Amino acid sequence: MPIPHPLPEPLVELVASRFRLIGEPMRIRLLDRLRDSEQSVGELTDALGASQQNVSKHLGALHQAGIVSRRKVGNRVVYAISDQSVFALCEMVCGGLQQQVAELAQILEGTVETARSER
C-alpha cells in the first residue's frame, strides 16, 4: 500500500515517535547486540557494561513498541528482535553517514592540496 503524501498528521506523529524511540544510543546498542541472537538481560548488561536497571528500562520501551519480543526461559527473560525493519533504517542512516564522511574527506583533501600548492 502506498504511503500518502503529504503525510497525515497522525502518521507524522507515529513516525516521529518511532524515531524518538530508536534515537537513544543505548537502545541502538541493544538492538545491535540482539541482531544476531536473542539474549538475556544479564548477557546484555555484561556485554554493554550498563546497569541491569538501565538495560531493563530500555528493553521495556522497545518491547512496548513491538520492536523486541521477550520470553521467559527458566528464571531468565530473553529478548529478541521482532521488527527487523529497524535494521533497514539503521543501514540507510549508516550509508548516508558514510557518504557524508567520504564527501568531507574529499573536501578536506582538496583544501590540503590547495594549501600545499599555495606555499
pLDDT tens-place values along the chain, 119 residues long:
888 889 999 999 998 999 999 999 999 999 999 999 999 999 999 999 999 999 999 999 999 999 999 999 999 999 999 999 888 887 888 788 888 898 888 888 887 666 566 66
pLDDT score for 16: 92
Q: In what order do the strands lie in the sheet with 68-73?
A: 39-40, 76-81, 68-73
Each domain of the chain, given as residue ranges in start order, spans 1-83, 84-119
Alpha carbon distance 94, 38 (integer Å):
23
Looking at domain 1-83, which CATH architecture does it have? Orthogonal Bundle (1.10)
pLDDT of residue 23: 92
**How many angstroms separate the CA atoms of 81 and 63, rounded?**
9
